[in-house]
Amino acid sequence: MTGYQNPDDLKSIPAFVALAPVEANAFLAFNHAVERKDGLIPPRYRELISLAVALTTQCAYCLDVHTAQAARAGATREEVAEAALIAAAVRAGGTLGHALLAQRLFEQNQNKEET
């Protein structure tokens, strides 16, 4: 990684947690709960979902962590590629959905001005 983001930043998590321990520990507890190994969704799928979300939110740190965890959980390069393309399609679908909303809102505002 280049620029402002650096994998070494992840080493500063304990110091960051100390700055707001109640909130940070609640977040970490939630994060650990969704990363559990004994859920109905197997770890490999959890990591592919996490990776798809990281791609969608464009979080370089999450990409770093979840790519490594997906590999450790047994995901293949092909599965990672499919997850990426599914995420891209869903994100594009969200754009289309918002475009439909924009059209309806445009009509509503245009009708208000005409009355």
Q: Is residue 8 part of a domain?
A: no
Could you give the count of Cα atoms lying within 13 Å of 92 in the half-sphere of its Cβ? 6
Query: What local confidence, expressed as pLDDT, does residue 96 receive?
Result: 92
Residues 24-53 pLDDT 10s: 999 999 999 998 999 999 999 999 999 999
Confidence of residue 2 (pLDDT cuts 50, 70, 90): low
**pLDDT grade for 69, boundaries at 50, 70 and 90:** very high
User: Would you say residue 80 lies in a domain?
Assistant: yes
Q: Which residues contact 5 (CB under 8 A, 6 or more apart)?
A: 60, 61
Report the pLDDT averaged over residues 78-106. 95
The total domain count for the chain is 1
CATH of the domain at 99: 1.20.1290.10
Residue 80: how many other CB atoms lie within 10 Å: 19
Whole-angstrom Cα distance, residue 108 to residue 77? 47
Provide the residue range defining the domain that includes 43: 35-114
Query: pTM surpassing 0.85?
Result: no
Task: Report if residue 101 sits inside a domain.
Answer: yes
% pLDDT > 90, the chain? 83
User: Which of the pair, 115 or 29, is modelled with greater confidence?
Assistant: 29
CA distance linking residue 34 with residue 43, whole number of Å: 10
Ranked by mean pLDDT, the top range of 10-14, 42-46, 91-95 is 42-46
- In-domain check, residue 90: yes
